Chain A
Amino acid sequence: KQEVTQIPAALSVPEGENLVLNCSFTDSAIYNLQWFRQDPGKGLTSLLLIQSSQREQTSGRLNASLDKSSGRSTLYIAASQPGDSATYLCAVRRNSGGSNYKLTFGKGTLLTVNP
């Protein structure tokens, strides 16, 4: 059974700081990994999708890396801004087998960027 863990559960940083959010998963047989942002009471916004054959993806100030063999992904946020405050979730999709269609999520990291 795939389990996804996100560390830390909460993070508070001053504006302008670079930061790293961590995601680990127990089963390395993944198809892809997706990072999402969730504002309070809202739906999920996709940030980055990394296919299992890729090592990293970048979008603006965001960079996500994937080390499938060690079961780890990181989301790097450069020059953080108060508008980045949200919960960040990572989710993995299994590579094969009967459950390869579903996403397994971590509990998320609550990020607060202070002005």
Chain B
Amino acid sequence: DAGVTQSPTHLIKTRGQQVTLRCSPISGHKSVSWYQQVLGQGPQFIFQYYEKEERGRGNFPDRFSARQFPNYSSELNVNALLLGDSALYLCASSLAGYGYTFGSGTRLTVV
């Protein structure tokens, strides 16, 4: 079985640009969550979607948005990129909210 897949694996953007990160959950998982991990810190919750509806949002500015598609894949969008948005962005899927399975992440560098 394929695990949680994220694309792209690495990305370099310029300040002020916009970026879209993609995530495909494990087959059958209807819940997708996004986390941001800056160097030396634990992951911080950004969003959770379940059955295409937003179920929660972390303490992130409105520049961050996400959506979930009918096939349960998800996109995370970040507008007006700042240097501080440089981080590893992790996607996780879960079945009925039990254990979470994470993808390999997208490393975003803002220059």
Contacts and interface: CB of A to CB of B under 8 A. Distances in A.
Please determine whether chains A and B interact with each other in the same assembly.
yes
A46 interface: yes
Main secondary structure of the interface of B (DSSP, over half): strand
B25 interface: no
Contact of B48 (A89, A101, A108): A101
A106 B33 CA distance: 17
Interface residues of A, number: 26
Contact of A43 (B40, B41, B42, B105): B105
Nearest to A51: B98
Contact of B99 (A41, A43, A49, A107): A49
B98 A89 contact: no
Contacts of A25: none
A99 to B, nearest CB: 6
B60 interface: no
Contacts of A44: 43, 90, 92, 102
B104 A102 contact: no
B90 A43 contact: yes
B8 interface: no
B45 A102 contact: yes
Contacts of B88: 41
Interface of A: 4, 31-32, 34, 36, 41-46, 49, 89, 91, 93, 98-108
4 smallest CB-CB distances across A and B, nearest first, come from A105-B42, A44-B102, A43-B104, A102-B45
